[in-house]
Amino acid sequence: MQMTPVIAVHVTAALLAVVTGPVALWARRGRIQHPRLHRAFGYAWVTLMLITAVSAIFIRDRELPNIAGYTPIHLLVPVTLVSLFGAFWFLARRNIRAHQLVMRNLYIGACLVAGAFTLLPQRFLGQLLWGSLGLA
């Protein structure tokens, strides 16, 4: 697999989401809260997650175990879209606790856990990273 425009968009949005997410989560924690910062970084994070999820639909890998080029990590696309919808649904119904839970779990699952899986040696980013370090 090689770097294509779709992969570049996907990787850029995903990396920015990994960085943006903690700011959005932090801005509503503790005694001193920052609602404007939370809202700004929250909307930015949601936008980045939408870009990441939608762009993933157009990335296919026929080398790993797949169905029509879609690998198991592609299951995160509908999970992400449904989770984002659910988080805003909870927010509209003023269920803040459920909103927090969905957003935190989505950050952990889609950004951190999925991000870790992309660094496996047989994945494209893993090959770039480990190859550049001389470990692959």
Per-residue pLDDT tens over the stretch 64-118:
788 888 888 888 999 999 999 999 999 999 999 999 999 999 999 999 999 898 8
The answer to whether the Cα torsion of 95, 22, 14, 62 is positive or negative is negative
What is the per-residue pLDDT for 80? 97
Q: Give residue 63's pLDDT.
A: 76
| Of residues 41 and 64, more confidently modeled | 41
Vertex 67 angle, CA 81 and 107, to 5°: 30
- pTM equals 0.88
Run of H or E residues at 48? helix 35-57
Q: Does the pLDDT at position 119 exceed 90?
A: no
Question: CA-CA distance, 115 to 23, in Å (whole number)?
Answer: 18
Q: Work out the pLDDT band at 22, boundaries 50, 70, 90.
A: very high
Q: What's the number of domains the chain is made of? A: 1
Phi, psi of 70 (to 5 degrees): -95, 125
Residue 34: half-sphere exposure toward Cβ, Cα within 13 Å: 10
Q: Report, in angstroms and rounded to the nearest whole number, the Rg of the chain calculated over CA atoms.
A: 16
Q: What is the pLDDT of residue 136?
A: 64
Mean pLDDT of 8-15: 95
Domain coverage including residue 12: 5-132
- CA atoms of 44 and 40, how far apart (whole Å): 6
Residue 16 pLDDT level (bands cut at 50, 70, 90): very high
pLDDT at res. 68: 84
